[in-house]
């Protein structure tokens, strides 16, 4: 099946800093999504982005399907951005595979 690699695995940021999270895929990107899980375990769907760029407030995501990767940008980070960010893709036959996540800690 498709392999999903996320980097970096861990990231510590000072509040106000910007960051880029990356997701690499072993196979063609079909229906990529980004999720955020806050420190209390709540999951939120951030973006559905099979290709191109989308923005939502301080977050934006870009997927280059031909190069098999996606990037999540966080600008002017806040402590509420802390948590784990997952990417996932549907690798055919409606089988969704998640990456192992990037754990982000934003410190004041």
Residue 12 binds another protein, judged by CB under 8 A: no
Residue 86 binds another protein, judged by CB under 8 A: yes
- Number of alpha carbons in the 13 Å side-chain half-sphere of residue 27: 12
Based on CB atoms, which residue is closest to another protein, 11 or 99?
99
Based on CB atoms, which residue is closest to another protein, 17 or 62?
62
Number of residues that bind another protein (CB under 8 A): 21
Residues within window 25-84 making contact with another protein, judged by CB under 8 A: 31, 33, 35, 41-45, 48, 50
CB 97 within 8 A of CB 91: yes
CB count within 10 Å of CB 71 equals 17
Based on CB atoms, which residue is closest to another protein, 17 or 37?
37
Q: Which residue has tokens 């861990």?
A: 10
Give how far the C-alpha of residue 69 lies from the chain's centroid of Cα atoms, to the nearest Å: 10
Separation CA 106–CA 12 (nearest Å):
6
Binding site for another protein (CB under 8 A): 31, 33, 35, 41-45, 48, 50, 86, 88, 90, 93-96, 98-101
């Amino acid at each position: 099946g498709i392999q999903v690699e996320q980097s970096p695995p861990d990231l510590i940021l000072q509040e106000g800093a910007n960051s880029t999270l990356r997701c690499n895929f072993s196979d063609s990107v079909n229906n990529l999504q980004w999720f955020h899980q806050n420190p209390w375990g709540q999951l939120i769907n951030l973006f559905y982005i099979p290709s191109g760029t989308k923005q939502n407030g301080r977050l934006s995501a870009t997927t280059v399907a031909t190069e098999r990767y996606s990037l999540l940008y966080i600008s002017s980070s806040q402590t509420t951005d802390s948590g784990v960010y997952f990417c996932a893709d549907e690798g055919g036959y409606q089988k969704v595979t998640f990456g192992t996540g990037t754990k982000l800690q934003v410190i004041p």
